[in-house]
Amino acid sequence: MSNKKNRHFTLGMVLASSLLMSGCAQLDIGHLRGTGDMGIVIERAAGNALVIETTHHTQLSRVEGLGNLSHASAVYSRDERYAYVFGRDGGLSKVDILRGRLVKRVVQGGNSIGGAISQDGRLIAVSNYKPGGVRVFDAETLELVADIPAVYGDDGERSKVVGLVDAPGQRFVFSLWDAGQTWVVDMHNPTHPKIRKFKDIGKFPYDGLITPDGRYYIAGLFGEDGLALLDLWNLDAGMKRILGGYGRGEQPLPVYKMPHLEGWAAAGDLLFVPAVGRHEVLVIDHKSWQEVGRIPVHGQPVFVMARPDGHQIWVNFAFPNNDTVQVIDVPSQRIVKTLKPGPAVLHMEFTPRGEQVWISVRDKDLVAIYDTETFRQIKTLPADKPSGIFFTSRAHEIGL
């Protein structure tokens, strides 16, 4: 190669390198990261969300101004970048967890208790106590797409809505506390929802869950012992009752906090659910829907949650036993560990592969992180009255 050509080649390489370096500076590659190990912790009293990462157990940012988060929950966009936070005051907040900022917030109702994201990730549904019903929003803009009032009876009364979940087939499923009904809403045409109503399912359905495969919806009944089951593959079969009278002949205990069926557990062919007003976890055969066991526990269960591999069930409890977490070994159905993280354990969340569990301890103002194999406490993070913990892996699970 001639000296002239050499000089041109060298100059070209320098220019290309310069452009590449310039591009790298613009992209700020050193600050790019994925979201797979991220999540949020709700600071319920302050109305904030802490953005955290589970690899190094650190807080990345704090997002403020999310309103009343006394009963907050969250879902994620399918790319795991945005968290949609549902506040008790009817607020729906879209949070950019990578930038650690509030994108938009709308107050869509007067008393809201939760929400769901559609199968295609384009719709956000919010369930309301007041006004009773479900409102559906565009996930990108938070513009209202559909309003579904939970009207029942001849007088046009509205029911509180509970147990809202997403389901396959671009559907939402929820129950009506006052009316004793479950509704399935087809959202293929968002501006014209198709509603199928199932009536007389039982007294006061208080929450609902959907199996991981999205086939069965189960509503818990507060007004009577038992659960109501709907096969979403066969709606024509209607809802049927299961576990009727599981507390028959025994004096019910005062219920200090409603259990959460969204924190139920599936492990192999078994389901583990909290018994309302009892110090027990019920064990159900997933194939027959019959009770096959009961596990006495420390108090009234609130969340009954399975480690992702299904080998363990972790249980927290209502007041006055809410300083305790117990771990059930699934093969033996025996309690293998009792932990005392501190007063007012409100929520638990497993990392996607289950090696850690993060536990919010409200009255100690911290989140405690445990190794689920050794039960050793790995670390604590400060948080102002923490409650719900929600990791981005929920973006890819049905009903969460």
How would you list the strands of the sheet with 38-43, edge to edge?
58-63, 48-53, 38-43, 386-391
Residue 221 has what pLDDT? Answer: 87
Let me know if residue 187 belongs to a domain: yes
- Largest interatomic CA distance in the chain: 100
Let me know if residue 162 belongs to a domain: yes
What CATH number is given to the structural domain containing 251? Answer: 2.130.10.10
Range of 152's domain?
112-257
User: Which are the contacts of 14, defined by CB distance < 8 A and separation ≥ 6?
Assistant: none
Residue 257 has what pLDDT? Answer: 54
Let me know if residue 312 belongs to a domain: no
Helices (H), the chain: 3-27
Which residues in the chain show pLDDT less than 70?
1-30, 246-263
Let me know if residue 186 belongs to a domain: yes
Q: How many domains in the chain?
A: 1
- Judge whether 259 and 220 are in contact, CB under 8 Å: yes
Residue 21 has what pLDDT? Answer: 42
> What's the pTM?
0.89
Buried b / exposed e across 8-31, counting CB within 10 Å, b at 16+?
eeeeeeeeeeeeeeeeeeeeeeee
Closest CA to 331 of 283, 291, 276: 283
- Judge whether 280 and 237 are in contact, CB under 8 Å: no
Let me know if residue 233 belongs to a domain: yes
Q: What is the pLDDT of residues 83-117, one digit of tens each?
A: 999 999 999 999 999 999 999 999 999 998 899 99
- What span, in angstroms and rounded, lies between the C-alpha atoms of 298 and 29? 50
Q: What is the pLDDT of residues 159-213, one digit of tens each?
A: 999 999 999 999 999 999 999 999 999 999 999 999 999 999 999 998 898 988 9
Let me know if residue 51 belongs to a domain: no
- What span, in angstroms and rounded, lies between the C-alpha atoms of 56 and 53? 7
Let me know if residue 144 belongs to a domain: yes
Let me know if residue 199 belongs to a domain: yes
